[in-house]
Amino acid sequence: MRSLNVLISGASVAGPALAYWLDRHGFKPTIVERAPALREGGHAVDFRGEAHLSVLRQMGILDRLEAVQTDITSTWYVNSEGKHQARMPDDLFSGDVEILRGDLARVLYDATKDRTEYIFGDSITSLTEDADGVNVTFERGAPRRFDLVIGADGLHSNTRRLTFGPEENFVKHLGVYCSIFTVGNHLGLDRTGHAYLTPGKLVSMYTANGNAEARAVFYFASPPLDLFRRDVEQQQAVLAKHFAGNGWQSDRLLQEMRHAPDFYFDSVGQVRMDNWTRGRVALVGDAAYCPSSLSGMGSGLALIGAYVLAGELAAAHGDHRVAFGRYEEAMRDYALGCQKMGDGVAGYMVPESRLLSAFLKQYYKVMPYMPGKKMMVAKTRKVAENIALRDYAS
Q: What is the pLDDT of residues 22-39, one digit of tens each?
A: 999 999 999 999 999 998
Residue 20: predicted pLDDT: 98
Q: Nearest CA to 252 among 218, 209, 208?
A: 218
Alpha-carbon gap, residue 290 to 271, rounded angstroms: 5
Residues of the chain with CATH 3.50.50.60: 5-71+101-171+271-346
Q: Is 60 exposed, middle or buried (0-12, 13-18, 19+ CB in 10 A)?
A: exposed
Q: What's the rounded mean pLDDT across residues 306-328?
A: 97
Q: What's the rounded mean pLDDT across residues 128-154?
A: 97
Helix H, strand E, coil C: the string for the chain is: CCCCEEEEECCCCHHHHHHHHHHHCCCEEEEEECCCCCCCCCCEEEECHHHHHHHHHHHCCHHHHHHCCCCCCEEEEECCCCCEEEEEEHHHHCCCEEEEHHHHHHHHHHHHCCCCEEEECCCEEEEEECCCCEEEEECCCCCEEECEEEECCCCCCHHHHHHHCCHHHCEEEEEEEEEEEEEECCCCCCCEEEEEEECCEEEEEEEECCCCEEEEEEEEECCCCCCCCCCHHHHHHHHHHHHCCCCCCHHHHHHHHCCCCCCEEEEEEEECCCCCEECCEEECCHHHHCCCCCCCCHHHHHHHHHHHHHHHHHHCCCCHHHHHHHHHHHHHHHHHHHHHCCCCHHHHHCCCCHHHHHHHHHHHHHHHHCCHHHHHHHHHHHHHCCCCCCCCCC
Contact yes or no for 194/204 (Cβ under 8 A): yes
Residue type, 4: L
Whether residue 1 is predicted with pLDDT greater than 70 in this model: the reply is no
Whether residue 279 is predicted with pLDDT greater than 60 in this model: the reply is yes
User: pTM here?
Assistant: 0.94
Task: Report the mean per-residue pLDDT for the chain.
Answer: 93
- pLDDT above 90 covers a percentage of the chain that reads 77
- Assigned architecture for domain 5-71+101-171+271-346: 3-Layer(bba) Sandwich (3.50)
Alpha-carbon gap, residue 107 to 105, rounded angstroms: 6
Longest dimension (CA), the chain: 65
* Residues recorded for the chain: 394
Contact yes or no for 160/124 (Cβ under 8 A): no
Instruction: Look up the CATH number of domain 173-268+348-377.
Output: 3.30.9.30
Q: Please enumerate, as own/partner, the contacts of 55-58 that have beta carbons within 8 Å and a separation of 24 or more.
A: 55/303, 55/304, 55/307, 55/389, 56/97, 56/303
Alpha-carbon gap, residue 115 to 24, rounded angstroms: 10
pLDDT class of 3 with cuts at 50, 70, 90: confident
Residue 217: predicted pLDDT: 97
**Burial 296-330, CB ≥16 within 10 A → b, else e:** bbbbbbbbbbbbbbbbbbbbbebebeebbebbbeb
Q: What is the pLDDT of residues 351-363, one digit of tens each?
A: 888 888 888 778 7
Residue 92: predicted pLDDT: 63
Q: Between 39 and 336, name the one with better pLDDT.
A: 336
Residue 361: predicted pLDDT: 77
Q: What torsion do the CA atoms of 29, 35, 41, 43 make, to the nearest 10 degrees? A: -70
Alpha-carbon gap, residue 48 to 381, rounded angstroms: 7
Contact yes or no for 277/324 (Cβ under 8 A): yes
Q: Nearest CA to 282 among 152, 389, 139?
A: 152
Residues of the chain with CATH 3.30.9.30: 173-268+348-377
Residue 274: predicted pLDDT: 97
Contact yes or no for 215/44 (Cβ under 8 A): yes
Residue 28: predicted pLDDT: 98
Q: Between 198 and 90, name the one with better pLDDT.
A: 198
Residue 209: predicted pLDDT: 85
Alpha-carbon gap, residue 197 to 144, rounded angstroms: 50
Sign, CA dihedral 120-32-384-376, equals positive
Q: Is 88 exposed, middle or buried (0-12, 13-18, 19+ CB in 10 A)?
A: middle
Residue 74: predicted pLDDT: 83
Alpha-carbon gap, residue 213 to 183, rounded angstroms: 6
Residue 73: predicted pLDDT: 82
Q: What's the rounded mean pLDDT across residues 54-71?
A: 94
